[in-house]
Chain A
Amino acid sequence: MNSWQYSESIESEKIVNIEKKYGNFIDGKFVTPKSKQYIDTISPSTEKILSSISIGNQQDVDYAVVSAKEGLKKWSKTAPSERAKYLFKLARLIQERSREFAVLESLDGGKPIKESRDFDLPQVAQNFFYYAGWADKLDIAWGNEKYKPYGVVGQIIPWNFPLLMLSWKVAPALATGNTVVLKPAETTPLTALLFAELCEEVGLPDGVFNLVTGDGSTGSHLVNHKDIKKIAFTGSTGVGKYIQKSLAGRDVGLTLELGGKAANIVYSDAALDEAVEGVVNGIFFNQGHVCCAGSRLLVQEDIEEKFIKKLEKRMQTLNVGNPLDKNTDVGAINSKDQLDKIEKLVNEGIADGGDLYQIECELPKNGFWFKPSLFTSVQANYKIATEEIFGPVLTTLTFRTPEEAVEIANNTEYGLSAGIWTEKGSKILWTADRLEAGVIWANTFNKFDPASPFGGYKESGFGREGGRHGLLSYLKVSS
């Protein structure tokens, strides 16, 4: 068992004020859904009902798109420097209310408060601040060609980083002069709804930001809407393919940020203690609900035994439990559905012949939980080595040479991220050149920044979010 026992240090829930029921945010105000359909959103750590949200139907989406079209008339006449100021103001408001947002995010999604407070919220505010500054510099961002916004943009975001994904989508879209209809994930809508309040507060022109909550059917209405000029989606590769197929033959822009099965390559000349930290962070950050998670550990054969021992020892120190406890490292699994998926894949891994190590810890009685897990003795063809688990489960494979490491790392349809651990600079660059992945972390992992482009190769999607490159996802060349 863990030799270090911490006293509880619970962040108070009192700071958040959750309504019993939420409508959609359209044309600058909260409106009752035309669908009249609602679904409960629960806390995955307690299974308590937090609130009830609308399942937007075709009419709700129509209303939001009409509003976004009206909003576009005003937004396109708003000077770029004025657009910037709205975004700067949003960034400031988010900073001021970040504690409230962080608690709400952890309640609704199950992630540790340590992460929502110290990672998600600072990144969200910085992202609005960063893109605010681009709004009036678009004409110098990409050479002397003229670019223009798409118009009304539909955005569909996942449940793993609810508010952060909102900021990745909304900030660049508005900075570049588009207006937005956003659909948050059905299990984590609350921070997006609170964000809508901020839009009202800063006086963002009506219709510039619209929010329709709902499930896959709502998203589908949005994708298939005739007046949407661009879709930006973050989520599973399966849904990404469905969206691309739905848009085939239509003049609608598309960017996709999809799944991953990242290799985290540890060479025998790595600084092993640092590598252990990076590997742990790479897979257990946000319960492994991370598209770029380092879910495949590729360790050089001659250090496997030693490395796995260190890794297991470090894993055992992870605190699993109440997301609102400031000492918690690994929170709740986001939903029952996701927990079922993780359990199914892990059971298949055991049946296939993988050796499973799980840390010893007590899990809370209610809610959805999964112990941090490590598979060894894995063959490359096992499902746990090829499919995205999207949970706190690390799969180990071994290699002998750098060439073999690269081959195994690239032997996947995905290409979102990868990690390299070695003290030899030339080997980092050699490896990085050969890895088919959009983001490569060398001697670090899971680092993000609004200024740094993020997005995948191959079936991990196309388009980039973040940085100067992220602007291109919301602009098209003006002929």
Chain B
Amino acid sequence: MTDVKKTYKNYVHGKFVRSESGKVYSIDLKDEKYEIPLTSKKDLRDAVTSSKEGFKNWNQLTMYNRSQILYRLSEMIEGNKDSYISLLQDHGLSKLDSKNDINHAIETIVWYAGFVDKWEQLTGNLNPVAGQYFNISHQEAIGVTFTLSPNSMSLNELVKSILPALTVGCSVINFSDKNAVIALKLSEEVNNSDFPSGSINLISGKFENIIEDVGGHVEIKHAAIYEDISKKSKEVLGQKGSESIKRISLLPSMSGLSSILPFIETKTVWHPKGK
């Protein structure tokens, strides 16, 4: 009997879609070669439109609700653990490394799931101003966020490029290249986890094809990249981004409080005290 081979598609607005351009690039795994959607500029624009709506829907949920949806993502991955382990093995990892990576990814997601309704108690505070005013600084999600996927074959590193922004209420467009099979596989568990459409979009391709548009699209409020992309790419992104004072940050490899700080804006509200 012939095996049925999976077609990997982009995940945009809760749907599995091919590139409108019809173009693909290939990723060779151990036994199989996969054709992956080569995201075009128009695909990116579609993802941003989706992500804009996704931000509205994701950000308006209560923290408790968002927290549970993230936790459900960890449950979904746990349930399909074996398929992830074998996928990572197909990427050349040993069985033990694959298993460890998936376990770490689940732990990372559980950590952030439990952080959704707490981080603001660490980032916000009353400000002791010298006068009769109530003055509070609290934080809001920046909005539509573009994040690069890591080049490493790791589910844990992948979720670390998505979850910090998602945790604080941003919608995320995650863009993968070499690790696209892992990222597009993740879309299946995302799809089963009650995320509102557009809160996570997973697209794949070659960054240099869309980088100018990531920088220039005013609806992308934040772009998070890795240190190891080329200097030229950083320049293009920074130059185009400067036209709308776009926030650009480097994705850290660690989790923790500092991982979410690039994705929030501080809002300070004053009110007089009196009778």
Binding site for B on A (CB under 8 A): 126, 142-143, 145, 237, 240-242, 244-245, 247-249, 256, 258, 413, 428, 432, 437-444, 447, 449, 451-455, 457-462, 464, 467-469, 472, 477, 479
Contact = CB atoms under 8 A, between A and B. Distances in A.
A248 B268 contact: no
A346 B165 CA distance: 43
A453 B272 contact: no
A459 B137 contact: no
B238 A248 contact: yes
B192 interface: no
B137 A469 contact: yes
Nearest to B261: A472
A440 B242 contact: no
B234 interface: yes
A455 B270 contact: no
Contacts of B271: 428, 442-444
B127 A248 contact: no
B239 A245 contact: yes
Contacts of B6: none
A418 B243 CA distance: 23
A452 B127 contact: yes
Given A241-B243, A469-B266, A143 B238 contact: no
B28 interface: no
A65 B244 CA distance: 30
A248 B270 contact: no
B251 to A, nearest CB: 12
How many B residues are at the interface, by size bracket? 35 or more
Given A249-B238, A438-B267, A447-B131, 5 more contacts: A145-B256, A244-B241, A248-B242, A440-B269, A444-B270
B257 A142 contact: yes
Q: Shortest 4 CB-CB distances between A and B: which pairs?
A: A248-B238, A249-B235, A244-B242, A449-B129
B239 A461 contact: no
Contacts of B268: 438-440, 452-454, 467
B258 interface: yes
13 contacts: A248-B236, A249-B238, A438-B268, A439-B267, A442-B271, A444-B270, A451-B128, A452-B268, A453-B266, A460-B245, A462-B245, A464-B266, A472-B261
The residue in B231, B232, B256, B258 that gathers the most chain A C-beta atoms within 10 A of its C-beta is B258
Nearest to A428: B271
Interface in B220-251: 231-232, 234-239, 241-245, 247
Given A240-B245, A438-B267, A444-B272, A143 B256 contact: yes
Contacts of A451: 127-130, 135
Contacts of B258: 142-143, 145, 477
Contact of A452 (B237, B256, B270): B270
The residue in B122, B242, B247 that gathers the most chain A C-beta atoms within 10 A of its C-beta is B242
A237 B245 contact: yes
B245 A244 contact: yes
Contact of A241 (B129, B137, B242): B242
Contacts of B129: 447, 449, 451-452
Contact of A458 (B122, B237, B245): B245
A448 B146 CA distance: 34
Nearest to B244: A459
Contacts of A467: 127, 137, 268
B135 A248 contact: no
A441 B243 CA distance: 29
A452 B245 contact: no
A158 B258 CA distance: 31
The residue in B130, B237, B257, B270 that gathers the most chain A C-beta atoms within 10 A of its C-beta is B270
A454 B236 CA distance: 30
Given A237-B245, A245-B242, A467-B127, A442 B270 contact: yes
Contacts of B133: 444, 447, 449
Contacts of A432: 267, 269
A476 B236 CA distance: 24
B265 interface: yes
Contacts of A462: 245, 247
Nearest to B137: A453
Nearest to B230: A249
Contact of A249 (B131, B234, B247): B234
A244 B242 CA distance: 5
B257 A248 contact: no
The residue in B122, B254, B266, B272 that gathers the most chain A C-beta atoms within 10 A of its C-beta is B266
Nearest to B227: A251
B125 interface: yes
A334 to B, nearest CB: 24
